[in-house]
Amino acid sequence: MPYLLILPGFIFYALFVLVPIADTVRLSFLEWDGLSPQTWVGLDNYLQVLTDPNTWTSLRVSLVFVVFGCVLPVTLALLLVGIIARTRIRGLSFFRFVFFLPYTIALAVVAIAWRWLYSLDGSLNAIIEAVLGPDLVRPFLGDAGLALPALGVVALWATFGFVVVMLLSGTQHIPKELYEAARIDGAGPVREFFTVTLPGIRHELRVSLVMTLTLSLRIFDLPLMATQGGPGYATTTPSLMMYRDVFVNGQIGPGAAIAVLLTLVIFIGVGLVNRLVRSE
C-alpha cells in the first residue's frame, strides 16, 4: 500500500528531477553541440570553465547576491523581529501582508518595476535630485560599478518580507512566560533577544537561510530581465552563463559543467547553514 501511494509522485520526481541530474553530470563530460555525435572529453569542460575568468566573475556576482539576498535580509529581519517581539503590535497581519507581497511577485515583474525606478529619468533619481542635488543622479543599471549592488537591493527587497514572515511565525511559538522570566532576571532587550527570541526561532531561521541562500546562488530571472547580465559581465550569474552557453551558443558540455558546479556550491552552502544553525 505505501509503495502504491508513493509510486505516481516518485515516477514524476525520478523522471524529471533525478534522472536529468544524472544526465547533466554525464553531459558535463562530453563535447556536444546538440546535433552531432557526442564525444567523451573527460574533465576538459571543467578545466575550460574553471580557467575562464568569467566563471570566477560570475561566482563573485553570486556571492554579492548571497550578501544582499540572504545575509542582509536575514540580519535585518532578525533586527526587526528583535524590536517587535517584545511588544504587542496592532495591525500586525496588515504588515505581514505588505512585507510578504514582494515574494509572491515573479522576479520578471520585479525586474521591470525596478528598471523603471533605477532609470535615468525614473523615480529614484527624481528623489535623489530633489534631496541630494543633481550631481548624484545616475543610470544605476548602466553603471558598471553600481549595477550589481543596485540589483542586490532588488534581491533584498524581494526576499526580506519572506524572511520576516517566517521569523515572526517562529516567535509566536515562544511561550510568553519566557519573556517575563527574562525580565524578572533583569535582562535588557539585547540579552532578551539572545537568550529567548533567537533560540526560539532557530528552526525558522535555518529554513529561511536555506531558502534565500538557494535563491541567491541560482538567481536568473532578475539579471536576465533587468540587465541581461551587463554592463559587460558585471551582473552575469552562473545560471545566466549556463543559459547562454547551452541555449544561445550551443556549448552544452561547458554549460552542463557550470550547472554541476553551481549545484555543488548550493549543496555545500546548505550544508554549512545546517551545521551553523542546528535545529535542536
Partner 1 sequence: MISRRSNTMSYVVLLLFAAFAIYPFISTTLVAFNPPDASVSGLAWPSQWSLDSFVSAWENPDAGIGRSLLNSVLLSGVVVSVSVFFSILTGYAFGTMRFRGSSLLFPLFVLGLIVPYEATVIPLYYQFRAFDLIDTYWSMMLPCIGGSMAFGTYWMTSFFKSFPRELLEAARTDGSNRWQTLWRVVVPTASSPIFALATILFIWTWNNLLLAVVMISQPELRMVPAALNFFVGLQYGSNYQITCAAAIMVALPVMIVYYLLQRRYGADVLAGSLKG
- 46-105 residues near partner 1, rule: CB under 8 A: 80, 83-84, 86-87, 89, 93, 95-102, 104-105
Site track 123-152 with partner 1 (rule: CB under 8 A), x = hit: x--xx-------------------------
How far, in Å, CA of 224 to CA of 248, rounded?
Answer: 13
Cβ pair 226, 151 in contact under 8 A: yes
Cβ pair 70, 213 in contact under 8 A: yes
Task: Tell me whether residue 34 or residue 199 sits nearer to partner 1 (CB atom).
Answer: 34
Contact between 40 and partner 1 by CB under 8 A: the answer reads no
Q: How many residues bind partner 1 (CB under 8 A)?
A: 95
Contact segment (CB under 8 A) with partner 1 among 19-27, 39-47, 48-56, 61-69 equals 19-27
Contact between 270 and partner 1 by CB under 8 A: the answer reads yes
Torsional class of 243: left (φ above 0), alpha (ψ -120 to 50), beta (otherwise): alpha
Site track 238-257 with partner 1 (rule: CB under 8 A), x = hit: xx--xx--xx----x--xx-
Task: Tell me whether residue 148 or residue 251 sits nearer to partner 1 (CB atom).
Answer: 251
Contact between 21 and partner 1 by CB under 8 A: the answer reads yes
Instruction: By CB under 8 A, name the one of 48, 67, 71, 119 that touches partner 1.
Output: 119
Cell 521591470 belongs to which residue? Answer: 112
Q: Give helix 147-171 / helix 53-66 axis angle, nearest 10°.
A: 40
Least CB distance from residue 58 to partner 1, whole Å? Answer: 12
Site track 181-220 with partner 1 (rule: CB under 8 A), x = hit: --------x-------------xx--x--x---x--xx-x
Show the cell assigned to 160: 526580506
Contact between 12 and partner 1 by CB under 8 A: the answer reads yes
Contact between 1 and partner 1 by CB under 8 A: the answer reads yes
Cα 258 from chain centre: 18
Contact between 266 and partner 1 by CB under 8 A: the answer reads yes
How far, in Å, CA of 72 to CA of 163, rounded?
Answer: 10
How far, in Å, CA of 266 to CA of 261, rounded?
Answer: 9
How far, in Å, CA of 269 to CA of 112, rounded?
Answer: 30
Contact segment (CB under 8 A) with partner 1 among 46-54, 55-63, 116-124, 194-202 equals 116-124
How far, in Å, CA of 254 to CA of 46, rounded?
Answer: 7
Task: Tell me whether residue 64 or residue 107 sits nearer to partner 1 (CB atom).
Answer: 107
Instruction: By CB under 8 A, name the one of 168, 196, 201, 234 that touches partner 1.
Output: 168
Q: Give helix 53-66 / helix 252-276 axis angle, nearest 10°.
A: 30
Q: Residue 262: how many CB atoms within 10 A of its CB?
A: 20
Task: Tell me whether residue 146 or residue 211 sits nearer to partner 1 (CB atom).
Answer: 211
Q: Read off the DSSP letter of residue 18.
A: I
Least CB distance from residue 174 to partner 1, whole Å? Answer: 14
How far, in Å, CA of 138 to CA of 76, rounded?
Answer: 27
